[in-house]
Chain A
């Protein structure tokens, strides 16, 4: 039950729900002789929660790294649609991709450990801050007004994720569950058009997982943020996703609605292994 409304939209994509937002076409990623992704194609629609699942080493994180520009695939295109047009991400540097509104979290938390929660979240506002270096040295006037406006949005995210009590603590001193939340929060502060979450519930107990799933759904339902989610827990995936893509050994072996994918024989084989022929 959602009881409060938020003044700042956390979603910066202005596409209509259902329009294609992200289109991955035939990407191939190799490290030396190892093929991490092999002709993977998938399409993520505006306003959906799109899960990517698969056994360990299937290439899920590699896919996310290609989308956010940390890896560069040898072949294929990754296109993000904005009202201004289509942008091929494979030709962009990671910080330029972030400026298009692609935000992410990492499997092994990558927070700024020595900065406080508030500073981490304010860094999520970096791309939206327009002041130049010379102006930012002047603490009063426009720079300060701008800072206060950004702070308002950050406080809403703090509310949403219930991390009020730790906002001034250095992130490195927080418990694991809180760190995961701060990482989600930092991505939300970017007002993302597309939110990539790499195992947001990894290493959590059932209760923490439930909390986290609710935060992700809140962000999705309240703000309409499109989410691409890597997750191992099949119950969570089936509960919260609109669409599921399955990777195995770098290939896409299934793609569809959750109930459809869960009964797919190829998927069962990938997870449980080949039946031994007698």
Chain B
């Protein structure tokens, strides 16, 4: 029982962070129809930007978070402007290859500056643990769930209530009509990439605190794909449900089965979902009329 509780907490916190990264993926897909294979690497870059701000620049963690978020937003806008915009009108497969290339550049850039040795980051989430029914529950994990949940709620409000959020959904639906409403589609694209990078970076910062920074974070980021395929490529609630399901599944598999199966199980889910329900749990079923 104590093992189960602990696994659940770890699974939920990982799942919440996955949901953040997946939210960014869905944002980009919804607004621009680009499948961003570099989303996991945004998480990696964010964690290192945070690490650099704290350790290299010697900033307080709260400032370091701001630096990380500002860095992410800038990176997102630059990537959209100089990498994706020239690809408008190109075939989907070409755009996908570009984002795969981007992920290599981001991963390589991080290694260039920080090498391959994993680093410890100074912790800012509350330390200590709660002991409940014999299980050790670190406060940092609880806090990570809270922060991720707060960010997800903020974004939901942004989408449903604010002018820019609704404009973004409008662009996702019909770019031409959005233009004739006076909405600058380019600015919406830039905003989507900036926000996507920001959500991934917040996830990366949380991960850095929980488990230090290393190139392995990009591998964690790769699990974004099973999450969005499970939840539905274009569904915001889907990212939350998908993130939590995958996060828990990985922990339970590690605890009850082991043997490294936990690293494979998200991708088994991915394949099963693609076979049974390719639009995911909450995705839109697209029926093309020919």
Interfacial residues, chain A to chain B (CB-CB below 8 A): 68-70, 93-96, 98-99, 103-104, 106, 110-115, 119, 122-124, 126-127, 129, 131, 133, 136-137, 139, 143, 186, 190
Interfacial residues, chain B to chain A (CB-CB below 8 A): 154, 157-158, 161-164, 166-167, 169-170, 172-174, 176-185, 191, 284
- The 8 Å CB contact of B180, one of A98, A114, A119, is A98
Complex: A143 Cα to B162 Cα, angstroms: 9
- The 8 Å CB contact of A115, one of B162, B173, B184, is B173
A21 to chain B, nearest CB (A): 18
- B166 and A137: CB pair below 8 A? no
- B177 and A106: CB pair below 8 A? yes
10 A-B pairs, CB-CB below 8 angstroms?
A95-B181, A95-B183, A98-B180, A103-B180, A112-B173, A112-B178, A115-B166, A136-B163, A136-B164, A139-B161
Complex: A104 Cα to B174 Cα, angstroms: 14
- A112 and B180: CB pair below 8 A? no
A66 to chain B, nearest CB (A): 13
A129 cross-chain contacts in B, Cβ below 8 A: 163
Closest B residue to A143 by beta carbon equals: B162
Chief secondary structure at chain B's binding surface: helix
- B184 and A95: CB pair below 8 A? yes
Complex: A68 Cα to B180 Cα, angstroms: 7
- The 8 Å CB contact of B181, one of A70, A114, A137, A186, is A186
A174 to chain B, nearest CB (A): 14
- A123 and B167: CB pair below 8 A? yes
Complex: A131 Cα to B166 Cα, angstroms: 14
B82 to chain A, nearest CB (A): 20
B173 cross-chain contacts in A, Cβ below 8 A: 111-115
- B179 and A94: CB pair below 8 A? yes
Complex: A112 Cα to B170 Cα, angstroms: 6
B10 to chain A, nearest CB (A): 32
Q: State the total of A-B contacts with C-beta under 8 angstroms.
A: 81
- A126 and B182: CB pair below 8 A? yes
A63 to chain B, nearest CB (A): 15
Complex: A40 Cα to B252 Cα, angstroms: 71
- A95 and B182: CB pair below 8 A? yes
Complex: A131 Cα to B177 Cα, angstroms: 22
A138 to chain B, nearest CB (A): 9
Complex: A19 Cα to B112 Cα, angstroms: 66
Complex: A133 Cα to B191 Cα, angstroms: 10
- B179 and A95: CB pair below 8 A? yes
- B174 and A98: CB pair below 8 A? no
- B183 and A126: CB pair below 8 A? yes
Closest B residue to A112 by beta carbon equals: B173
A186 cross-chain contacts in B, Cβ below 8 A: 181
B177 cross-chain contacts in A, Cβ below 8 A: 106, 110-112
Complex: A98 Cα to B177 Cα, angstroms: 11
- A133 and B164: CB pair below 8 A? yes
Closest B residue to A138 by beta carbon equals: B162
Complex: A272 Cα to B173 Cα, angstroms: 40
Closest A residue to B165 by beta carbon equals: A136
Complex: A124 Cα to B183 Cα, angstroms: 10
Further pairs besides A104-B180, A123-B178, A126-B182: 16, Cβ < 8 Å: A95-B181, A95-B184, A95-B185, A98-B181, A103-B180, A106-B176, A110-B177, A112-B174, A114-B169, A119-B169, A122-B166, A123-B181, A136-B162, A136-B164, A139-B157, A190-B181
- A112 and B183: CB pair below 8 A? no
- A119 and B179: CB pair below 8 A? no
With most chain A CB atoms within 10 A of its CB, the pick from B179, B183, B191 is B179
A20 to chain B, nearest CB (A): 23
Complex: A190 Cα to B185 Cα, angstroms: 18
B169 cross-chain contacts in A, Cβ below 8 A: 112, 114-115, 119
- A98 and B164: CB pair below 8 A? no
- A137 and B170: CB pair below 8 A? no
- The 8 Å CB contact of A119, one of B164, B166, B182, B191, is B166
Given A112-B173, A123-B170, A137:B162 Cβ within 8 A = yes
B154 cross-chain contacts in A, Cβ below 8 A: 137
B279 to chain A, nearest CB (A): 14
Complex: A186 Cα to B89 Cα, angstroms: 28
B172 to chain A, nearest CB (A): 8
